[in-house]
Amino acid sequence: MTNFINHTLPNGINLYIYPTEKFKTIVYSLFLHQNLKRDLVTKTALLPFVLERGSKKWPNTQKLVVALENLYGADIMSEVTKRGERQILQFILEIVNPLYVRENGELEKKGLEVLKDVLTNPVVENNGFKESFVNREKQILTNIVQGLINDKVSYAVERCVQEMCREEDYGVYRLGRVEDLPNLDSSGLYSYYQELLNSAPIDIFVLGNVDPDNTMALMEEAFNFPRGNIYEMEPTLIYKEVSEPRYVEERLDVNQGKLTLGFRTNTKVTDDDYYPLLLYNGILGAFPHSKLFQNVREKASLAYYASSRLDREKGILLIASGIEIENYQKALEIIQQQMESIKAGDITDDELDSTRVGYINQIKVTEDSPYQIINRYLGGLISGRQETEEETIEQINRVQVEDVVRVAEKIQLDTIYFLRNKE
């Protein structure tokens, strides 16, 4: 993790370079950070959809894709994510390391040229983005947001978060709200994008078989546009007392019931309790050896999947399981028993040790994927807790049963969301 070379470009963009010969590709990844706000979320989310449609030099999707295919199927991808109460736009360029295709070193330069044009040179008409792009992408975004319902497994988890955080900015979907779309026009969207380019915190990662000095020069040239003052990122709301858990039921035409439980952990990544919380999640439900898998699935045969996951940046924990609808009460009881047992310190050495080595394994394999290396470092930048692999492992090893019991006491059930059939 210490291999990142950090450099700030004259316009305030942070550059992180990770030279390595391990991979067949070179990855360029740009992150643009925005505060997650209900009135901004939809227009922020719409931007990458419009930008990916074309640029001045490659003015439509077809021309853009042809250019990338010629570069050995280089790929420009974008991603909209929500990490705590920040919304992040990610633009990725992945190209084959020129060594493998005997290209004379122009491959990176050509790829970067496309990425740069997409980001800084969109197709503009009447002081706005191209109208037809914006209209079509508004439709596309509507379909994606509404289409969330197609995948019942993730739909149930997303709905639980929305219900649980309905009074916080976090309760909004990462791609925004359909009702906002009719009010967005191409010129408003374009000037909003100019604002973001001017003042959003931007991080660029470069990872692969690259020469750092050469890359720095290339990047200074590619991302040399002038910027103003950079805005601050606001902290995420983590601590919240729950007076009474809320039950939400939704009825759809489904065969399987989806039981989802949302909890407040009241623990932040920078808290001392963070690693005990991580271990708590592992003992409870992150692995096949965890209590949920063992008891809901293996012992009671109630489910194919029963697991927990920690949303570390927001400090919430989610349990999800797919069950026969009539087994709602039985499954809920077994899940609650598992949480009670952790609170009572009923954790075997095997459970604790397996969880420890399970997480240590996950941390070590991070190093084998360009995207995971970048993501882990970005996580450190966001949370303000940047640690090396060794430091992380050491802290995981230090957690004892009593630490896990202590965090267990802080965890409060906030919302039970049950997706079930229509009668």
Residues near another protein (CB under 8 A) are: 21-25, 60-62, 65-66, 69-74, 94-96, 100-101, 132, 136, 139-140, 143-144, 146-153, 252-256, 287-289, 297-298, 301-305, 322-324, 350, 353-354, 357-358, 360-361, 364-365, 367-370
CB of 20 to another protein, least distance (A): 8
CB of 196 to another protein, least distance (A): 23
Cα separation, 50 vs 60, in Å, equals 11
Look up residue 74 and give its two tokens: 């280089």
**DSSP assignment string, 193-216:** HHHHHHHS-EEEEEEES--HHHHH
- Give 252 or 344: the residue with its C-beta nearer to another protein: 252
Look up residue 141 and give its two tokens: 């975004």
CB of 199 to another protein, least distance (A): 30
The SS3 assignment for 395 reads helix
- Give 103 or 168: the residue with its C-beta nearer to another protein: 103
CB of 257 to another protein, least distance (A): 9
- Give 140 or 344: the residue with its C-beta nearer to another protein: 140
CB of 398 to another protein, least distance (A): 17
Question: Is residue 257 within 8 Å of residue 324, measured between CB atoms?
Answer: yes
CB of 364 to another protein, least distance (A): 4
Q: Which residues pair with 125 in a beta bridge?
A: 128
- Give 240 or 309: the residue with its C-beta nearer to another protein: 309
Question: Is residue 260 within 8 Å of residue 319, measured between CB atoms?
Answer: yes
Name every residue whose Cβ is closer than 8 Å to that of residue 287 and which is 6 or more positions away in sequence. Answer: 293, 354, 355, 358
- Give 66 or 124: the residue with its C-beta nearer to another protein: 66
Question: Is residue 297 within 8 Å of residue 290, measured between CB atoms?
Answer: no
CB of 178 to another protein, least distance (A): 10
| Radius of gyration over every alpha carbon of the chain, rounded to an integer in angstroms | 23
- Give 148 or 381: the residue with its C-beta nearer to another protein: 148
- Give 146 or 336: the residue with its C-beta nearer to another protein: 146
Residue 377, burial from CB neighbour count under 10 angstroms (0-12, 13-18, 19+)? buried
